Structure 1
Amino acid sequence: MSVTPLPALIQRFFIGRLQTQLGASRHTIAGYRDTFRLLLGYVSQHRQQLPSQSTLEDLDAALLCAFLDHLEHQRGNGIRTRNCRLAALHAFFHFVSYEAP
């Protein structure tokens, strides 16, 4: 079984899905971009690996819940901001369910 690297999936999500298929606004794309920038930084700190070395399997439920808690408690984000980040992650994993089932 070949594992698709996470950076390749993220690139296809932004270019293929958000821009080409959905025609998402630049504000939506910027918000999603910021979500992944924060997430990859968080993964890098907690897994001691470069973001380019991350795979989809690294993003398990426990890590994502810890990331959302980190946003709310350490970064001081409100519930609305945290839920916007969660919506970006939902959209990405919905995309991934078709791309790399």
Structure 2
Amino acid sequence: MTKLAHHLGCFLREHLPHERGASANTCDTYAYAFQLLICFAAKRMHTQPSLLEIDQVDAPLILAFLDHLENVRRCSPRTRNARLAAIKSFFRYLEYHDVSCLDQARRIQSYR
């Protein structure tokens, strides 16, 4: 099992700004999307955010999170889709940095 925190930190601090050339606003938006997701996941799994594993952030959790955004937080479809874009981007990154996540990444990237 791989800790989510390490890969997510590398994605947000190194990959987005330096390798992808994302703006500071984009990096902040992605970081906020993951803050929401990680808090949602930790609460749902009754654990600390720093203890979450990559394999715990699976397809059913992502779907529940997207539903939470729309129905509890009352986010617009545009905002929901922006959060989903951040998640998909992270899992595309994981495909190249942790091959054990290939199948999980494929399933998550198939969402619309």
Paired letter, 2:15: R
After TM superposition, give the deviation of residue 19 of structure 1 in Å. 1.2
Distance 2:97 2:36 in 1: 23
Q: What is the TM-score normalised by the length of structure 1?
A: 0.95
Q: CA RMSD in A?
A: 0.7
- TM superposition score normalised by structure 2: 0.86
Secondary structure (helix, strand or coil) at the match of 2:74 reads coil
**Structure 2: any 5+ residue segments left out of the alignment?**
100-112
**1:8 aligned onto 2:6:** yes
Aligned residue among 83, 91, 96 for 2:81:
83
The answer to which structure, 1 or 2, has the higher relative contact order (CA under 8 A, 6+ apart) is 1
Structure 1 residue ranges without an equivalent (≥5):
none
Whichever residue aligns with residue 20 of structure 1, its letter is H
Is 1:56 matched with 2:51? Answer: no
Identity %: 36
SS at 1:36's partner residue? helix
The separation in 2 between residues aligned to 1:61 and 1:22, in whole angstroms, is 25
Separation (CA, whole Å) in 2 of partners of 1:62 and 1:4: 19
